[in-house]
Amino acid sequence: MLRARYTERDTNDEQSRSAMFQQLYNKTFTELYDTEFFLLSTNAGIRYAHTFYFGITVQPYIFLLAQLSQCGSNITFSDGTHTYEDEYKTISFGYQFGAGIDFGLSPYFGLFIEYAYGYATLEFPNGKKYNGDGQFVYLGAAYRMSYGLIE
């Protein structure tokens, strides 16, 4: 199994998070700030699936993947006199695992739901490391290059 994905999360000025962001970035900001986090990962690993047929193909599966990730964040903030923009990037090795089920609605088209958990290191200027990945539930469509058993 080979997978690539890009995730971006935006956060805006929230008073409850101001102290945390000031600590993570080792910055003091007195006015509005904006932060963005991104994760770009390439995964490769194994997937085990078992196929059932109940009028449609039903295929539950599990997977375990090694993950090469580029995690990063940037912050735009003001100290009261100047506006600054800082960007931080970390490249790390991590992992991703999960399970899902694929419903084959036709020989080459299906719908799936999948749960995945991943770990990718995101390092902030305060020297601490955090998980830049996390838990996700994916819903989507699948296109199959082959279908069924070859006889």
Tokens (6 digits) for 63 = 């997977």
Q: What is the pLDDT of residue 6?
A: 67
**pLDDT tens string 104-138:** 988 889 999 999 999 988 777 777 888 878 898 99
Which helix (H) or strand (E) segment is 141 a member of? strand 134-143
Residues contacting 85, CB < 8 A, separation 6+: 74, 75, 76
What's the farthest any 2 CA atoms get from each other in the chain?
73
Among 119, 121, 118, 122, which Cα is nearest to 88's? 122
Q: Is 17 helix (H, G, I), strand (E, B) or coil?
A: helix
Q: What is the pLDDT of residue 4?
A: 65
Question: Does the pTM of the predicted model rise above 0.85?
Answer: no
The residue ranges of the chain whose pLDDT is under 70 are 1-21, 27-32, 146-151
Q: What is the DSSP-derived secondary structure letter of residue 21?
A: H
Residues contacting 97, CB < 8 A, separation 6+: 62, 63, 64, 65, 116, 117, 118
SS3 content of the chain, % helix, strand, coil (to 5): 5, 65, 25
Q: What is the pLDDT of residue 98?
A: 97
Contact 2, 43 (CB under 8 A): yes
